[in-house]
């Protein structure tokens, strides 16, 4: 571990209290918890922050719909987040809420500092605003001239007096920071997206609202009582107000942050707005801003309507918290999207945890008990097993480099290589045969080799599975602390004489899935009354539309053709759109933007056919031309493209 820095500050995003925690929230928090636990184990002074984001128009509206005050609603949801993290034994040092008075004071201090520096000015804002995403968009970014490119919901045209932050002033400084700090944004592929966005030009950012009241008021020195701060300015500043910025500043020695974890959907706010705010405040920038991917379930995007949202508490209760933590960290490379399935989780438990880890501990207990009355010493390990020790030490020299480069799955993969060495050694050297031959020293050396490997692995897995590893440590007679870490990992030493204790089976085999997937009907019953009413109203509207009959001539005004999809790719910054090149038999392909990303992977569409409205007037979506529309059907089970029953020649008319 790099000891050039003494303090390590780890942050999760503060979670928006518009809904209860889901698997994505758990994923981020488990990663942060692993980093914090590992840092503490290596002897670093560590501070770990998480919390909730509780202001904004969306929260005000959600509270009103439920007949609650915004504070009452925020208290309830924030409390559920905190309870879950406590149930998950998340080792946070502070749980911040943006409704905390200390936070508000710090935010007002930051606003005042930036205002006095000349980085904030008053003006008028007019533009498109998505309440759901709490984000502004230009007309070019919208889908079909009115819908949010991220969530697909209608935007509102907002026109009001506003204060602006001079984001454009920091464009060149941001580019310089990206260029001089190779790993400031992880993974690097995400960094390229941010750099390209900034090079496209930055506009000044509207940072106050007058159309609602649920937010942090501007400082009294500004004398603008009708303004509240834009939720993203308020929220981002939590990372320093949590350390006392603008107040006692008792923990500001932890700044700058070592790792700030975010989901990929909020990377732009953290990798552009946040460093610009810090530059304005003359504060150093974080070492790493790390953006992870999203989780699907059994290959499908999660949604309440599908009834396939993963409840992390239910999974942890059914399969074990440590097994759930291991699965989340091992299953997918950081930055990529992951897929949750009970089968994949069971495979990890039965194979990795049960066979490789748990069974190895059982073999240590069995061999030491049978041959040596559970007493193990390492005096002859190097004499008989230098080759295996060298292999283990070589692997473990490199694993630590994966931690703050956010290559956590590779970290675990290499630890499992070490377990493979241990399991293989038992088969290669057969201690039972050594004992029959009277080679007691060699048998002891082998048992001690396996015990030492398990002890080293336990130290490195403590941050991943703390509850199970504490039992392994008890069994081996070791303590999980910095002294043991330095002895076995840093200095590559071996255990002194130790006594093995039997423990219960840590990872019993699981033969059948333990959770039922909620049905769509069950989810619908649980929906708030206003949502159910909205669905009924929509059904009535659809029924009324069915009576809007057209003539055969009107129908034939629409040209429908069979198209072959030649190329398909995702549209950056859009949660719904795929960009397709479609052959309609016209000699050149047409570009069609289709809102089907949540139901189809781009790579799976190439070479398939679909029915296309071919005489639709071309339109611009997110600044790109769309020359047609794919036909699809959608119900409570999802969306499906309308396709010919058997392949047809591209351009074949549908009649």
CA-CA distances (angstroms) from residue 146 to 57, 318, 598? 19, 44, 20
Is 184 marked as binding a ligand?
Answer: no
3-state secondary structure of 228: strand
| Cβ count near 572 (within 10 Å) | 12
Q: Is residue 516 packed enough to be buried (19+ CB in 10 Å), middle (13-18) or exposed (0-12)?
A: exposed
The pairing of beta strand 15-16 with beta strand 45-53:
parallel
| Cβ count near 556 (within 10 Å) | 10
Query: Tokens 């020695």 sit at which residue?
Result: 253
3-state secondary structure of 653: strand
- C-alpha Rg value of the chain to the nearest Å: 29
What angle, rounded to 10 degrees, do the helices at 408-429 and 381-399 form?
160
| Cβ count near 553 (within 10 Å) | 7
Is 611 marked as binding a ligand?
Answer: no
Query: Tokens 């399935």 sit at which residue?
Result: 341
Note the residue count of the chain: 655
Phi, psi of 262 (to 5 degrees): -145, 160
The pairing of beta strand 560-570 with beta strand 208-209:
unpaired
3-state secondary structure of 578: strand
CA distance 283 to 254: 12
Please give the distance of CA 12 from its chain centroid, rounded to a whole number: 10
CA distance 351 to 331: 13
Which residues belong to the annotated binding site?
Answer: 130, 133, 148, 151
Which residues belong to the annotated binding site for Zn(2+)?
Answer: 130, 133, 148, 151
């Amino acid at each position: 571990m790099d000891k050039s820095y003494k303090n390590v500050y780890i942050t999760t995003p503060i979670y928006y209290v518009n809904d209860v925690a889901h698997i994505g929230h758990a994923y981020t928090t488990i990663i942060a918890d692993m980093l914090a636990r590992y840092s503490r184990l290596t002897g670093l002074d560590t501070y770990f922050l998480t919390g909730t984001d509780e202001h904004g128009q969306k929260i005000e509206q959600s509270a009103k719909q439920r007949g609650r005050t915004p504070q009452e609603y925020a208290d309830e949801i924030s409390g559920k987040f905190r309870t879950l993290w406590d149930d998950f034994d998340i080792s946070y040092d502070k749980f911040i809420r943006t409704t905390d008075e200390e936070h508000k004071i710090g935010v007002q201090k930051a606003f005042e500092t930036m205002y006095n520096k000349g980085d904030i000015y008053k003006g008028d804002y007019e533009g498109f605003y998505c309440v759901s995403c709490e984000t502004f968009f230009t007309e070019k970014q919208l889908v079909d001239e009115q819908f949010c490119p991220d969530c697909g919901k209608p935007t509102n045209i907002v026109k009001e007096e506003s204060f602006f932050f001079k984001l454009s002033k920091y464009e060149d400084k941001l580019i310089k920071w990206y260029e001089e700090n190779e790993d400031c944004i992880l993974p690097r592929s995400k960094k390229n997206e941010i750099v390209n966005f900034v090079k496209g030009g930055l506009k000044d950012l509207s940072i106050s609202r007058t159309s609602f009241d649920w937010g942090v008021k501007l400082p009294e020195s500004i004398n603008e009582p009708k303004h509240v701060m834009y939720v993203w300015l308020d929220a981002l500043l939590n990372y320093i107000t949590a350390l006392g910025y603008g107040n006692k500043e008792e923990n500001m020695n932890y700044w700058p942050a070592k790792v700030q974890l975010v989901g990929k959907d909020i990377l732009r706010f953290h990798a552009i707005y946040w460093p610009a705010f810090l530059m304005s405040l003359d504060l150093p920038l974080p070492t790493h801003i790390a953006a992870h991917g999203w989780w699907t379930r059994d290959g499908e995007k999660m949604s309440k309507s599908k009834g396939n949202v993963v409840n992390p508490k239910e999974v942890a209760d059914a399969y074990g918290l440590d097994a759930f933590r291991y699965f989340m960290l091992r299953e997918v490379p950081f930055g990529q999207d992951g897929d949750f399935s009970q089968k994949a989780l069971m495979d990890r438990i039965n194979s990795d945890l049960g066979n490789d880890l748990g069974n190895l501990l059982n073999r240590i207990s069995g061999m030491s008990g049978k041959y040596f009355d559970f007493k193990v010493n390492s005096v002859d390990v190097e004499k008989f097993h230098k080759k295996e020790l060298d292999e283990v030490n070589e692997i473990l020299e490199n694993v630590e480099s994966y931690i703050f480069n956010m290559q956590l799955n590779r970290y675990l993969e290499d630890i499992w290589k070490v377990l493979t060495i241990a399991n293989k050694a038992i088969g290669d050297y057969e201690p039972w045969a050594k004992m029959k031959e009277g080679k007691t020293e060699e048998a002891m050396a082998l048992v001690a080799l396996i015990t030492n490997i398990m002890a080293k692995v336990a130290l490195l897995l403590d941050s991943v599975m703390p509850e199970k590893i504490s039992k392994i440590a008890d069994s081996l007679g070791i303590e999980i602390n910095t002294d043991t870490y330095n002895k076995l990992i840093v200095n590559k030493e071996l255990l002194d004489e130790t006594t093995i204790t039997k423990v219960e089976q840590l990872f019993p085999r699981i033969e059948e899935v333990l959770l039922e997937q909620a049905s769509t009907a069950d989810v619908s019953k649980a929906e708030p009354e206003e949502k159910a009413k909205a669905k009924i109203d929509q059904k009535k509207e659809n029924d009324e539309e069915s009576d809007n009959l057209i003539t055969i001539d009107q129908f034939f005004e629409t040209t429908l053709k069979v198209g072959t999809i030649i190329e398909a790719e995702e549209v950056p910054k859009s949660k719904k759109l795929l960009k397709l090149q479609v052959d309609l038999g016209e000699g050149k392909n047409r570009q069609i933007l289709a809102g089907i990303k949540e139901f189809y992977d781009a790579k799976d569409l190439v070479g398939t056919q679909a029915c296309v409205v071919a005489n639709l007037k071309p339109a611009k979506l997110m600044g790109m031309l769309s020359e047609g529309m794919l036909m699809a059907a959608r119900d409570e089970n999802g969306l499906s493209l309308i396709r010919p029953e058997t392949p047809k020649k591209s351009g074949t008319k549908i009649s």
